Amino acid sequence: MQNLWFITNPASGSATREKCDAIEAVFAERELTLVGRTGFPDEALPDEATLAAAGADTVVLFAGDGTINAALCKLASWEGSFLILPGGTMNLLAKALHDSLDPAEIIHAAHEETARVALPYAEAGPHRAFVGLIIGPAAQWFRAREAVRKRRLLALFRAMRHAWGRTFGKGVHVSGTVRLRRRYQAVLVTPDARGLDVAGIDARDWRSIAELGWNWMSGDWVGAGAVTHAISRHLVIEGSRPVLALFDGEPERLDPGTRITGGMSAQRFIATRKEAA
């Protein structure tokens, strides 16, 4: 960890310009070389050729889970290291990799750290989720979350009404685990070293639906309750129409028959949490 490419997203939670400047000051204090920076999404994420030309050995990500996901997917085959700093709302990857959530403390510890770890992910075609995947009508809550992020109260009201109505609609059906036989308003998939940690929520459990909506808007959607739970090696989207899915909070449409599998990344992530390393 010496030559750094710094990726930020000013709209992601706490990744303000002032905090980015403070992080760059820590780079200088540790005599680390900043060979490039990207302000996403206004600037395109670097590709492998760009990083190689700059001599970068580590990509530092100070952004939310969606921006981190986009960078990790684009650089999936890059052989350098990733340092993830808490710059969003949930910061689940940062929490999994580090004991501290203070960017300066993480950088100081990471500069002395030589261990690299792999992370599990859920994958469907070109899309990956490192934090979690929501499938089904309840994924419509992402519009309400965006309204909260942009502080648009009228848009929030409309999005909540739309999401609530869609949540209690027909539901989504997935196959691949014998325990999830019904249609669900939401199927929550968490990447796990054992495969896919799958939880199904249906409309009869309206408290869990409300909890999912609230937790989604506040950021902690992975903690929402579920009525059916299983570990599976894969899932398949059933039905005749595409379904909405959120990969680390970013919306995508999945066609019927889409296969969702679990995988492990290469050992590319700098971990300062001792049990993670």
Kind and range of the H or E element at 109?
A: helix 103-112
Q: Which residue has the tokens 């739309």?
A: 162
Strand order in the sheet with 33-39: 33-39, 3-8, 58-63, 81-86, 269-270, 116-117
- What DSSP designation does 119 have? -
Least reliable range by pLDDT among 10-14, 63-67, 78-82, 233-237:
10-14
pLDDT > 70: what percent of the chain? 74
CA dist 219 and 149 (Å) reads 10
Instruction: Kindly give, in sequence order, each residue whose CB lies less than 8 Å from that of residue 147, ignoring residues fewer than 6 positions away.
Output: 153, 155, 156, 158, 159
3-state secondary structure of 87: coil
pTM attached to this predicted model: 0.81
> Does 37 score more than 90 pLDDT?
yes
pLDDT digits (tens, 9 = 90+) for 41-66: 999 999 999 999 999 999 999 998 88
Q: Is the pLDDT of residue 141 over 60?
A: no
Distances (CA, A) of 101 to 27, 116, 143, 162: 17, 18, 28, 35
Per-residue model confidence (pLDDT) at position 262: 94
pLDDT of residue 11: 76
pLDDT at 270: 96
- Sorting pLDDT into bands at 50, 70 and 90, what band is 108? very high
Question: What domains can you pick out in the chain, each with its CATH number?
Answer: 3-114 (3.40.50.10330), 128-264 (2.60.200)
Q: What is the pLDDT of residue 139?
A: 55
- pLDDT(24) > 60: yes
Mean pLDDT of 193-221: 67
pLDDT score of 59: 98
pLDDT over 60 (residue 225): no
Name the residue among 65, 90, 98, 84 with its Cα closest to residue 276.
Answer: 98
More confident residue, 206 or 123: 123
Selection from 112, 128, 110, 81 nearest residue 266 by Cα: 81
